[in-house]
Amino acid sequence: MYGKQFSACIQGIHGVLVEVETDLSNGLPLVSIIGLPDSAIRESVERVRSAIKNCGFTFPAQRVTINLAPADLRKEGSAFDLAIAIGILVTSDQLVFPEQESFLLLGELALDGNLRPVPGVLSMVDVARQRGLKAVIVPLENAAEAALVEGMDVYGIRHMRDLLHVSEQMTIADRLAKAAALEISDPATREKEKEKENRANLNVASMQQEEGVQQFNMQIPGQPDIQVRVLSPTDRACVAEHSTGKQVDRRQRMEGEQFEHDPAYTKPAAEQVADSTSVQQVHSPSKRSSGSDPRHHIQLAPHLFVRKSQAHTYATEPTMIEDYADVFGQQHVKRALTIAASGMHNIMLIGPPGTGKTMLIKRLPTILPPLTDEEALEVTKILSVAGRLKDSGNTLMRKRPFRSPHHSITASALIGGGAIPKPGEVSLAHQGILFLDEFPEFPRTILELLRQPLEDHEIHISRSRAVFTFPANILLAVSMNPCPCGFAGSRHPLHPCTCTDAKIARYRAKISGPLLDRIDLQIEVPRPSERELQASAVAAAADGNDSSSMRERVLRVHKLQLERYREIGIHWNSQLSGKWLRQYAPLTPAANTLLDTAFEQLGMSMRARDRILKLARTIADLEEEEQIDALHIAEAIQYRQLDRG
């Protein structure tokens, strides 16, 4: 007997559809899972076995082979539990799942049959939609996340028994629980409840008598009566034919007729399980006639998850808890931050302690535009794979991420890694900001790992069996002191710099030239004077450098870039390269002359030259100029202060 269900796994941040094939054959009872499973999948055998038994089914005493295809792809995680369990029940003919070819099954099983949530559901459901599947069954905690994918019917269940029709009669466990509850209640309530239960039992007994159900009193205190249903010879013949696949001989029929009216006759336990209450089918609830089919039918209609409208999240304005109006002075830094946010340019702030470097960068998210639909889905997938989507309310992310790791972070935590790699802080900051405070305090080996993602906007992690790719289109924002003591160049009478030239050189040598080349804006943040503080306190918002005014300018430039680059698939000026940079960044003759002169006199690299050109493109967009002028080039060169130094 052979059956096939569909499940999925994660590779990088993308889902991969997996066929869960089940084969039952004669032989010693043994379960084999093949197709490069990890230890969590191999251990699923015991979880599935216990869940099947505790849900009232029978685990087949045969040789069970489960293949996870494609067989050359390494699989991990516990999301295959539900597909394996349903595959065994369907293949052993205990369950009917008429539309299984269009369903994706995801979920981890507890030993009692409860379903536990799994990470990465959004990516797995998205790939199932792309492959033509129509519906997905997931744990109820993952239903809201799965519903973010349009075009898929989502069914959220808490327990594997939720797939079946629930009988109106109380089970023995329910009766024992109710009896225990009555024992601890007050006498008056206990008498009322017992009277209600007696009346209900009389009604059930009368209905059961009509259906041929007999009750047996075990004469044990607290033990309810055992109810046994007596089948007619025809019903017993149907059960026997279904379980053996052969015709029941005449002798068995005669034995059935002989014991049909015998009150002491009880059916075998297997027949009692096979003859349980019928259930409704998928999408078309209909009860089967008594004794016609001992199998259970999947019923999913009551568990269809109703999507909530996501329209209110598409244009969500950021909550202005922090505002650039709180920062006194530093007008040239606010201008640089506006340029960085408009074109997604990397920025570095250099200055003595207490000048507001961290304060300025932490307010950068308040002026960034919201994520587009494509970006929001990609960012939400990363959070889903990392298992952090639940903290965000299981909705599409509309606010750009802001990540600020400590300088003691490891390489795998920053870039991503593990036996089967997971996204690191750089990927979690995708389409947002990665803030590295006290930049030179990070180990140089850690900082050098940023060179490739800053250039290619993605991270490649190689393993023996596969290469994993994580997106990493980030705005890198860093802050640093000018020297180890922090007061070099501050000219403060009470805090003179005590560092030697050799110390300062070693301190700045922690940042390599190639990494510094990739930082477009290098801005000094001096200590503001008392006059600047007083002027800023009087006109904090009047100068147009509060968060609301700055964000308006950024949104206008971002809309312009989306329109300009809609044909080439990029969103920001910082992503321009090659022929696209020459095409979309035209220079006036004066601007071209100035750029060539600066390139020769400052000894810039070709990468630095291209980055100055991208920065000038953003400055021209802020000025609503189509062509880049010499003033735009001059301002862009001034922002590379470490190159000039």
Banded model confidence at residue 391, pLDDT cuts 50, 70, 90? low
Is the pLDDT reported for residue 178 higher than 70? no
In the predicted model, what is the mean pLDDT of residues 157-164? 88
| Listed range (81-95, 305-319, 579-593) with the worst mean pLDDT | 305-319
Banded model confidence at residue 389, pLDDT cuts 50, 70, 90? confident
**Angle subtended at Cα 559 by Cα 558 and Cα 565, rounded to the nearest 5 degrees:** 85
- The pLDDT of residue 141: 92
* CB 302, CB 284: distance < 8 Å: no
- The pLDDT of residue 362: 94
Nearest to 347 by CA among 453, 479, 454, 481: 479
- The pLDDT of residue 490: 72
- The pLDDT of residue 182: 45
* CB 163, CB 157: distance < 8 Å: yes
Of residues 213 and 558, more confidently modeled: 558
- The pLDDT of residue 172: 41
pLDDT digits (tens, 9 = 90+) for 532-572: 666 665 555 556 688 999 999 999 999 999 999 999 989 99
Q: Considering the chain, what percentage of its residues have pLDDT values greater than 70?
A: 74
- The pLDDT of residue 127: 95
Banded model confidence at residue 22, pLDDT cuts 50, 70, 90? very high
Q: Which residues contact 476 (CB under 8 A, 6 or more apart)?
A: 346, 347, 434, 436, 450, 454, 518, 519
In the predicted model, what is the mean pLDDT of residues 446-466? 89
Point out which residues pair with 2 in neighbouring strands: 23
Two structure tokens written together for 386:
């990392």
Mean pLDDT of the chain, nearest integer: 80
Question: What is residue 223's DSSP assignment?
Answer: P
pLDDT digits (tens, 9 = 90+) for 90-117: 999 898 888 888 999 999 999 999 999 9
Rg (CA), the chain: 34
Q: Which helix (H) or strand (E) holds 364?
A: none
Q: Which residues contact 318 (CB under 8 A, 6 or more apart)?
A: 365, 366, 368, 370, 399, 551
pLDDT digits (tens, 9 = 90+) for 130-149: 999 999 999 999 999 999 99
pLDDT digits (tens, 9 = 90+) for 182-199: 444 456 655 666 665 565
- The pLDDT of residue 557: 96
Would you list the DSSP string of 64-89?
EEEEEESTTS-B-SSTTHHHHHHHHH
Is the pLDDT reported for residue 443 higher than 70? yes
Of residues 174 and 440, more confidently modeled: 440
Is the pLDDT reported for residue 203 higher than 60? no
- The pLDDT of residue 166: 42
Residue type, 480: M
- The pLDDT of residue 84: 96
Is the pLDDT reported for residue 260 higher than 50? no
Banded model confidence at residue 308, pLDDT cuts 50, 70, 90? low
Which single residue is written with the structure tokens 């049959």?
113
- The pLDDT of residue 240: 52
In the predicted model, what is the mean pLDDT of residues 234-252? 48
Rounded-to-integer distance, Cα 476 and Cα 349, Å: 11
pLDDT digits (tens, 9 = 90+) for 503-531: 988 998 889 989 999 999 999 998 877 66
Two structure tokens written together for 21:
């094939």
Is the pLDDT reported for residue 352 higher than 50? yes
